Amino acid sequence: MRAKILLVEDDASLVELVTYNLEKEGFDVVRTGDGEEALTLAEEEKPDLVILDWMIANLSGIEVCRRLRRAPATANLPIVMLTARGDEADRIRGLETGADDYMTKPFSPRELVARIRAVLRRLRPALQGGALEFAGIAMDTTAHRVTRDGRTVQLGPTEFRLLRHFLEHPGRVFSREQLLDAVWGRDVYVEQRTVDVHIRRLRKAVNAGPGGEELADLIRTVRSAGYSLDATPVAAQVAA
Amino acid sequence: MRAKILLVEDDASLVELVTYNLEKEGFDVVRTGDGEEALTLAEEEKPDLVILDWMIANLSGIEVCRRLRRAPATANLPIVMLTARGDEADRIRGLETGADDYMTKPFSPRELVARIRAVLRRLRPALQGGALEFAGIAMDTTAHRVTRDGRTVQLGPTEFRLLRHFLEHPGRVFSREQLLDAVWGRDVYVEQRTVDVHIRRLRKAVNAGPGGEELADLIRTVRSAGYSLDATPVAAQVAA
DNA sequence: TAAAAATGTCACTAAATCGTCATATGGCCC
DNA sequence: GGGCCATATGACGATTTAGTGACATTTTTA
């Protein structure tokens, strides 16, 4: 999942510079130079983080910061303040108003990106690898939660580990032996056929639709080779 | 609750300066100038945050940072790096190694305090005397009071700390071992199953409705993994 | 000091998960 | 189509794991 960043800045050349660097690093960027609009966008676009210049039109950055903190919808939105002022007093005021970090112009875009990553690493572990996703299946490893198309999927511990392994290597085919090593552990002795059974349990849980019907099977059986997580169902190949 | 800070720095005068300012602001300070000792102290003292100088004896700051991140017990410990180097490359390297913030000497003690507060405000809201809230459960950490949907909930000390830990990391699953570390303390020896009993007591207190009936259980049991505070009850899954 | 509250363990129960097998199903080659 | 082989499936007992009530002990409070 790409993180979305709201950039509130009215210096056009700086906007370009920062946007370029953020997008190069894989962030989605939403931009505005206006304080009022920033508040609206923060609500509507649901960014994962806000970069906020101190000096912007209509509302000062610090006022925007204060209002973002006050509104329940954005109270927890991470904010990185940006400013030309090097004053210690200003920096402290910014941090005390609720900013998570503070950078003084001129700054290096790379450092900005590094700081943004540091903040996001903390607040959205999901954006940093705690979350896995493939073809509608989402797994939050820290919350130990799996959903398919938004609906919660109930899995036993072994099925959970099995699915995690597949999500970590989507598309790749694993033999039963490899799956036993990776999911059960290298020193455990269980029948290879046992893998089949857990694959079946995993399929049953993941492919169960809301009304009891079957969804597309995302686990592909590769005859005499093993299994893989795969987005192209057999039916689609036939139909095509 | 006072926050405990581990200061890893070998410049004696700087240690004095920072310690003075931190203690004035109400922090407890543990100090060392040695990298190896820093790792030990981080485990044993369970600080809420580490201030880490780049240049210290025995192990470089960045190596300490890396090891702290690697050890499960300290992987989530907030780290503020401190250094004489102003190099952008160094700053970025520090942040990418897992530091949460970075300050360059000479720095203002007041700004350091402000940055520490900003980091802690995020990660340990309870330390700031603030209120915690999740899905109808509200906790006032200073008044030591808990309510659910407005009604007061009566908790024993251990259940209170347990709930506070959950509220600080909503949604996240903790193993019994992690809960013992975080809630009971690293040096206490109690049976892992004791956690179950306190979970039960916490559930009983929190889920008791006004008329004696049961409210939705907000504590989720994750088999073979642990427990988490979670807003999506099982009933909702079934109904969906 | 006595009463009350809180704590940590244990034994037991309840529930879920696991691994295996026997059998059914389905693809593939001749 | 027949035979062969690999996989799918349903059932089942064994095992693992969590929930629960009780209890002795310690700590706090009155």
Range scoring the smallest mean pLDDT among B125-139, B159-173, B203-217: B125-139
- Write the residue in A115, A117, A143 that is nearest to B172 by C-beta: A143
Alpha carbon distance, N-terminus to C-terminus of chain B: 42
> In chain A, what residues touch B91 (CB-CB under 8 Å)?
111, 114
On chain D, which bases lie within 7 A of the protein's CB atoms? 5-11, 16-22
CB contact under 8 A, B230 and A152: no
CB contact under 8 A, A96 and B108: no
Provide the chain B residues 210-229 that lie in CB contact (below 8 A) with chain A.
Answer: 222-225, 228
The pLDDT confidence band at residue A85, using thresholds 50, 70 and 90, is: low
* Mean pLDDT on A67-73: 81
Percent of chain A with pLDDT over 90: 35
The pLDDT of residue B220 is 95
Distance CA B157, CA B166 (A): 14
The pLDDT confidence band at residue A232, using thresholds 50, 70 and 90, is: low
Which secondary-structure segment (H or E) carries B139? strand B137-140
The pLDDT confidence band at residue A157, using thresholds 50, 70 and 90, is: very high
* Mean pLDDT on B205-218: 84
At A97-155, the pLDDT tens digits run 888 888 887 778 888 888 888 888 777 655 555 778 888 899 999 899 999 998 999 99
The pLDDT of residue B201 is 96
Cα A221 to Cα A203, B34, B35, B145: the distances in Å are 11, 55, 52, 55
Q: SS3 of B86, please? A: coil
- Long-range interactions of B23-31: CB distance < 8 A, separation 24+: B25/B113, B26/B2, B27/B2, B27/B3, B27/B116, B28/B2, B28/B3, B28/B4, B29/B4, B29/B5, B30/B4, B30/B5, B30/B6, B31/B6, B31/B7
The pLDDT confidence band at residue A64, using thresholds 50, 70 and 90, is: confident
Which secondary-structure segment (H or E) carries B8? strand B4-8
At B164-201, the pLDDT tens digits run 999 988 889 999 999 998 899 878 899 999 999 999 99
* Mean pLDDT on B197-206: 95
Asked whether the predicted pLDDT for residue A240 surpasses 60, the reply is: no
Asked whether the predicted pLDDT for residue B59 surpasses 90, the reply is: no
